[in-house]
Amino acid sequence: MGFKANARKRRDAASAAAGPQEKEAEEYVGEIKCDVAGCDNWSDKKIGGRKLAFDRAVDVWGESGLTKDSKRVTVCKSCYRAWKKAKKDEPTEWT
Ligand SMILES: [Zn+2]
């Protein structure tokens, strides 16, 4: 029993030494960046990111406003909101 107590004591000391480094891990780090130029947000699905057809995204941001030139772009939650708002003002109907 005495041996086990000593082992735990040693491990506590080790994690205390590693303490300062662990603090930085709190900020969310995603995997997918928003494709809107100038936007630094993450657009991972779990934090509200959305995929848009490139043509639809171009309607709002223009080709120069997008960093990706593929059929689909991925946008963050706030960019998606902006896109939805911009599309709402258009008279064209789409499903
Ligand atoms: Zn964005």
Q: What is the pLDDT of residues 65-81, one digit of tens each?
A: 999 888 999 999 999 99
Centre of ligand 1 to C-alpha 40, Å, is: 7
- What phi and psi, each to the nearest 5 degrees, are found at residue 57? -70, -35
Q: What is the pTM of this model?
A: 0.65
Centre of ligand 1 to C-alpha 4, Å, is: 52
Is 51 in a helix, a strand, or coil? strand
Question: Is the confidence at residue 37, as pLDDT, over 90?
Answer: yes
Is 21 in a helix, a strand, or coil? helix
Higher pLDDT, 26 or 82: 82
Centre of ligand 1 to C-alpha 75, Å, is: 5
